[in-house]
Amino acid sequence: MAQEYPIADLCQVLRVPRSSYYAWRHRPTSRRAVQNQVLRAKLASLFSANRKVYGSPRLTICLQREGIPCSRNRVARHMQALQLKARQKRAFRPKTTEANHDQPIAPNRLIQPHSANQVWVGDITYVFTQEGWLYLAAVMDLYSRKIVGWTSSDSLKSVLVETALRQAWGQRRLPRACSTIRIGESNMPAAAFERSYVPATSSPA
């Protein structure tokens, strides 16, 4: 603007003494302004180095480790001025069912049970804990609606459901002359999960 209009006219319109304007022009950069320049340069560098996913809390810690004293509010203010916005990472959600697989899908042969140990059904779920995701497999007697076997693990492998089925088998003490069939969709962690269990000779609970 000073290149388009005389300084005297601009000062008169803005009601600023010309002496104040020239004093501001020749004033040395303040210590705070220098610190802000250093902070912004380092802030932009750290933001890019951390894949643009760090927000003001973690960047504040990084700057303090670099020997630059700052508060979280100050870092957030400069991030806003530099238009630095952390990208939000998608929360991890376990996936226990996979529809895109080459495993055969058996027809639904589930029968309505009239006594215990005729039909067992099982499923897998997951629970978030302080140590990470915990996976839980359970086997239920469809007649009594009682959980007859279960197990948990920190990994989603076939041994999870196999252990739950073996536990149910052992607790109910079923004879060896039994047969198993699978119903419904195949689950990703264990296509061998016996979704229903039909003993050849049922025994009371």
pLDDT tops 80 at residue 204: no
Domain span holding position 162: 90-205
- pLDDT for 176 equals 54
Specify whether 27 is located in the same domain as 53.
yes
Helix/strand/coil percent split, the chain, to 5 = 35, 20, 45
Most confident of 11-15, 92-96, 110-114, 196-200: 11-15
**Cβ(60)–Cβ(75) under 8 Å?**
yes
Q: In this model, does residue 84 exceed pLDDT 90? A: yes
199 shares its domain with 106: yes
Judgement on whether residues 94 and 76 belong to the same structural domain of the protein: no
Model confidence pTM above 0.85: no
Q: State the pLDDT at residue 200.
A: 43
Kindly state whether residues 98 and 131 are assigned to the same domain: yes
Residue 102 and residue 195 share a domain: yes
Q: Do residues 155 and 130 share a domain? A: yes
Is residue 1, in this structure, part of any structural domain at all? Answer: no
Which of the four pLDDT bands, split at 50, 70 and 90, describes residue 202? very low
pLDDT digits (tens, 9 = 90+) for 128-139: 888 888 999 999
Structural domain ending residue among the three candidates 35, 63, 81: 81
The pLDDT, as a whole number, for residue 57 is: 94
**Within-domain flag for 181:** yes
User: Does residue 20 sit in the same domain as residue 110?
Assistant: no
Residue 2 lies in a domain: no
Distance CA(173)–CA(63), nearest Å, equals 63
CA distances from 35 to 47, 53, 166 (A): 18, 24, 66
Assess whether 95 and 77 both reside in one domain: no
Average pLDDT, the chain: 80
Q: Is residue 99 part of a domain?
A: yes
Same domain, 100 and 171: yes
Q: Mark whether 60 and 100 lie in a shared domain.
A: no
Residue 101 reports pLDDT greater than 90? no
pLDDT of residue 156: 81
3-class DSSP state of 132? strand
Of 81, 110, 128, which marks where a domain is finished?
Answer: 81
Is the pLDDT higher at 15 or at 98?
A: 15
pLDDT in tens, 148-182: 999 999 888 888 888 888 888 888 877 654 555 44
